Structure 1
């Protein structure tokens, strides 16, 4: 029996990589999208293959719509239509007050975090929609707890990009519900990933973890569990919903 295909953007590291490994354990043919670091993507693929799973690496910059379309076209040609999509690709800029940021920074954040997710969802529709001959499918967009709290003095523009993802997820989910497509979101909180180093503070999770009800940072694998539950038939009556994985925040 042919395995269902799942595409995970930003699948070479952090939450995306953890989700790729879990998806493979659950029997998916995993397509690991990456933008730059082919070595990290290949490492995730090897981990999956060594455990008997199926994984392939595919380069594309999701901030570029033409690359997104080419990626989806190639997947259909090579492995068949996707049945699941996890939009995990995202970028983060250095911590700073919003008044000190620039329009160029906002544009870069939104181009990847928002427009990249929207482009992937639009292309996934052509693979999944029953009106186009598809078999339906499930999409999970990775947002952030920052969308709810605004991340003042650190990442207001990043938080705004994730707020846009929340609004888009809700609207798109309701628009495609009658096409056999479920669309949900996961909002991670303080998770141990490389993104904090990119923001300029490697120890950010450790600094803020004591302020959380659970008193600790989260693991990428814990977020992956929520993502894959929403992807799976176990959540078959859930769409336009969100799971917060934030340690009680």
Structure 2
């Protein structure tokens, strides 16, 4: 069942939620996901949990509404992504990194997300990114560095190899997923072209990865730095992934 770690979490009546959603009409449905234990952790780059509803068989979580939907609907849509300049791209990349850093080392709990991907990053009205969907997340103890599971959950393509094959997960497996996400933002499309990215970097042609020209030269060095960080996320030795 759902466990709520913070007892000051507001509780909504089922009737209130039904009214706000026009009795759960399908046209008001914006997505769905799973959840396990709930911990109220707040950061500007994590989706804010507003409250919950526990009535009879109904167990619901109420999150803030994110006007611009998920990141994948932006970066994989040619028209919408074309409206974003590189400063917005860079802000989105940095925001995701800050949210992940908070989960890994700055919150009172060390949380491994385990399913970081474009559809699990939501954008507010100003296109600030917020990590969402913690249904597969795991909480580590103070001294715990690694976990192991026989139940592999997540999204293939974003999973670190040692998690997909052996069920091993850690901060570093989230870093691998961040690398895939970063590559997709840079390329402007769904991609697993890690080796091609390495090849272009070694040949001194990393800017060929970027899907549209950078008109503001001040962002050139920043995007090159992003590409470098992206490649570090895919280091074959997981010990080198802590970027």
Q: Does TM, scored on the shorter chain, surpass 0.5?
A: no
TM-score, scaled relative to structure 2? 0.26
Q: Which has the higher helix share?
A: 1
Q: Higher Cα Rg: structure 1 or 2? A: 2
Does 1 or 2 have the higher relative contact order (CA < 8 Å, sep 6+)? 1
State the TM-score, normalizing by the size of structure 1. 0.26
